[in-house]
Structures are given as structure tokens and as C-alpha cells.
Amino acid sequence: MCHLTQHLERPEIDREATLIWLPEVTQGVLNALVWDIHLTLAKHGRPLCLDRLSFSAPPPARVAASAYAALKDRGLAALRRIGTTSPRDLAEALLRLSPSSYDRRAELLGGARLLPLGRFLWNGRDVYPQLVETLKSNSKRQDISAARRFQEKDLTQ
């Protein structure tokens, strides 16, 4: 997700992310929240893409889908404030800013955030579901390892 915020020039960025207005949290917090939403959806076999959300799912997945939809709704505020929800449009506008305006970009865009849409396109293929599955498996192994270490520590005391 961090890669998307650093590469607004990606050819498919508008299919991978959208702009929202969410000054209450940092981009990092938003990324962590979306990651948790994606993990929850993946655990329940639900689509990760924002445009394919299903609200007929087990309660945890339904809550995750609702939270994701609420985040997407913050795109209307971005549209009102900066005139677009397109990351590509924002990138092009930033390139055209005068040096003094560019220096003020944090002040002008302080609440703009990039909401990942649950896709990461690589050579024309969406690899995000595989990435989530791999990282989900790795985190399970780390959780199991941490639990074993805790259990071993508890037994030796």
C-alpha cells in the first residue's frame, strides 16, 4: 500500500486507489486500517476490491465491508475540496504547481489520503489477492512462533 502512495505515476493507479479526504488519520494509519479490512475479507473468502464488496457475509466480513464503504464515501469530500478523486489527476497537478505552491502542498492537501482499492496490477494482472494470501500465511506463522515462544517461556518459569 505504501508503494501506491509513492508512485502516483503508475499506469493503473486510478484502478488501484482513489483519493479521499480524511484529515483525522495519517496515511500510515489508513493503510493499516485497510490492511486489516483486507485480511478480514480474505479470511472469510470475500473479494478484496472495493467495487466488488459483498454485504451478505459473516458478521466480521460485513463489518469490514461497511468500514471500507464508509472510507470510500470520504471521496465526496475530496472531490469538493480538491476537485478530483483521481490520484493521476493529483499527480499531474502537483507537477504543474509553482515552487511556492509546491512548498505549501502539505497545507493545501493536508487531509487528502490515498485509499487502496484492493488491487495491485502487475503486467496487466491483479497480484494483490496473492500478496494478501502470502502475507496472511506469513503472519500466521509468526503468530504461531510467538505463541510457541511464549508457551516455552511460561513452561521454564
Neighbours of 1 (CB within 10 A): 19
Cα–Cα distance for residue pair 142/148, rounded to 1 Å: 10
> Do 18 and 75 touch, CB atoms closer than 8 A?
yes
Window from 8-22, 104-118, 130-144 with minimum mean pLDDT:
130-144
Q: Which pLDDT belongs to residue 146? A: 46
Beta strands 121-122 and 125-126, pairing class: antiparallel
pLDDT in tens, 10-27: 999 999 999 999 999 999
Q: Which pLDDT belongs to residue 106? A: 82
What DSSP string runs through 10-59? Answer: -TTHHHHEEEEE-TTS-HHHHHHHHHHHHHHHHHTT---SGGG--SSS-H
141 pLDDT exceeds 60?
no
> Residue type at 107?
E
> Do 76 and 54 touch, CB atoms closer than 8 A?
no
pLDDT in tens, 73-84: 999 999 999 999
- Residue 133, exposed/middle/buried by CB under 10 A (0-12, 13-18, 19+)? exposed
